[in-house]
Structures are given as structure tokens and as C-alpha cells.
């Protein structure tokens, strides 16, 4: 199987995983109205659409997005298991807010990979490198904060 077809399969898997969790975010928002949930939901939907239209650096985009559904499930569980439901601690709320910011950065990075202009890409290269570094560190922080184990493909691509 060619690397591009493996990447396409991974994109399809990420899209399906995120699309499965987004309706649950909507239900959580409708019933308990916790902060950040609507913003995370909207950003996740935009991210799925952007991921499907990436033209450059697809593998990096997949690395950034493949664990998002797991983090979202962890956030859902924290809200549902809190007493009373929907009332998480201020520290957890801070972690959720940080994840929302990281998700926005990931969306910005993925959207920038949709453009085919090599000249524009050349001038934005240092900006994108810094953004990618921020995305990776923010994502790792979210994985640690919400005790989510990264998927296997992340380990494969890091080695």
C-alpha cells in the first residue's frame, strides 16, 4: 500500500472518529451548557472539513488530529462524572480552555496546508514551524492532562 493511500485511510478514520464525538458535545452543551464545549465542537467540525482538503503536509496534519476525539471523549467523561454533572473543578476547566486554544492553533495550521502556493508557503515557513511546535506541545499537554494514551501511528511516525 502506498504512503498516500495509508494517509487517506488515516484521514478517513480521523474524520469518522471526530464526527462520532461531535453530536455528544452538542448534547452536553444543550443539557448542561458548560464553558468551551460549543467552541470545541465548532472547531472540531471545521477541523474535519479542513483536514479533508489538505494539499501539503498531510502526515503532520494527521499526527496533530488523530488523538483529538480521545481528548474530547475524556472531556465529556469529566463533565458527566463530576458532582453535580457539568461542574468540573477550576483546574480542569483551565485544562479544557487550554485544549480549546490548542485546537484553534491546530485548525490554523491545517487550514494553512490547503494552499498550493509555493511562494506563499516559503514566506510562511518559519511561522508554520513555530505554530507546529506550539500545536505539538499543546496537544501533548492535553494528552497528559486528560490521561489519554496516544494512538499507535503517532509512535510509528516519531521513531
Per-residue tens of pLDDT for the chain, all 159 residues: 676 788 999 999 999 999 999 999 999 999 999 999 999 999 999 999 999 999 889 999 999 999 999 999 999 999 999 999 889 999 999 999 999 999 999 999 999 998 777 777 777 888 999 999 999 999 999 999 999 988 755 444 444
Closest CA to 44 of 13, 29, 23, 74: 23
Q: What pTM was estimated for this model as a whole?
A: 0.89
Domain that holds residue 101: 3-158
- Name the domain count of the chain: 1
DSSP string of the chain? --HHHHHHHHHHHHHHHHHHHHHHHHHHHHHH--TTHHHHHHHHHHHHHHHHT--S-HHHHHHHHTTHHHHHHHHHHHHHHSSSTT---HHHHHHHHHHHHHHHHHHHHHHHTT---HHHHHHHHHHHHHHHHHHHHHHHHHHHHTTPPPPHHHHHHH-
Amino acid at each position: 500500500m502506498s504512503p498516500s493511500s495509508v494517509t487517506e485511510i488515516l484521514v478517513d478514520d480521523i474524520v469518522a472518529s471526530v464526527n462520532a464525538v461531535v453530536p455528544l458535545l452538542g448534547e452536553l452543551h444543550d443539557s448542561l451548557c458548560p464553558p468551551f464545549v460549543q467552541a470545541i465542537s465548532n472547531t472540531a467540525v471545521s477541523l474535519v472539513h479542513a483536514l479533508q482538503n489538505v494539499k501539503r503536509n498531510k502526515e503532520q496534519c494527521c499526527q496533530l488530529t488523530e488523538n483529538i476525539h480521545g481528548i474530547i471523549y475524556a472531556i465529556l467523561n469529566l463533565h458527566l462524572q463530576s458532582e453535580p454533572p457539568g461542574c468540573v473543578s477550576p483546574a480542569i476547566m483551565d485544562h479544557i480552555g487550554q485544549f480549546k486554544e490548542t485546537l484553534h492553533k491546530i485548525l490554523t495550521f491545517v487550514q494553512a496546508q490547503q494552499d498550493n502556493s509555493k511562494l506563499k508557503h516559503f514566506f510562511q515557513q518559519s511561522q508554520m514551524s513555530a505554530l507546529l511546535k506550539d500545536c505539538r506541545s499543546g496537544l501533548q499537554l492535553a494528552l497528559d492532562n486528560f490521561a489519554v494514551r496516544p494512538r499507535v501511528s503517532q509512535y510509528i511516525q516519531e521513531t
